[in-house]
Each structure stands twice: as C-alpha cells, then as structure tokens.
C-alpha cells in the first residue's frame, strides 16, 4: 500500500459546504429550466390546438370518403 498522505484540495471549504454549494448550483439551473418551460407553454398550447384541428379535418375527410364509397357500391 502507498504510504503517501492524501493531498490537500485547493478548496478549503468543508465537505458539507462544498455539497451545499453544488446543491445551490443545481437549484439555480432547475429554476432556469422551469422558467424556460413556462415560456414555451403557449407555443405547445397553439401546437396542440393545430394538431386537434388537423385531426378533425382528417376525420371529416374520412367520413366523406366513406359516403362516396357507399354511393359507388
């Protein structure tokens, strides 16, 4: 086994202080992500409305095709 002592880290804060500092950084980043998610909410609401409109159009088109098929037969 190596008998060298553990080298000193340049950061003189205690382990707990370093861990809490990391938590603070993570918390700040999560808050930024949450704020951005709220900014994009209207975009997704509009996209969903457009998707539902297209779905309704496809359903209407399918009904018309079914009626035309019945008339041909």
3-state secondary structure 3-71: CCCCCCCCCCCCHHHHHHHHHHHHHHHHHHHHHHHHHHHHHHHHHHHHHHHHHHHHHHHHHHHHHHHHH
| pLDDT value, residue 47 | 94
Residue 73 has pLDDT above 70, yes or no: yes
pLDDT tens profile 13-69: 899 999 999 999 999 999 999 888 777 878 889 999 999 999 999 999 999 999 999
| Distance from C-alpha of 71 to C-alpha of 67, rounded to nearest angstrom | 6
- What is the total residue count of the chain? 73
pTM of the full predicted structure?
A: 0.46
């Amino acid at each position: 086994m190596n008998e060298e002592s553990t080298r000193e880290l340049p950061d003189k804060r205690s382990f707990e202080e370093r861990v809490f500092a990391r938590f603070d950084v993570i918390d700040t980043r999560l808050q930024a992500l949450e704020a951005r998610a709220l900014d994009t909410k209207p975009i997704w609401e509009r996209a969903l409305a457009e998707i539902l409109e297209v779905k309704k159009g496809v359903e209407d088109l399918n009904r018309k095709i079914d009626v035309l098929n019945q008339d041909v037969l």
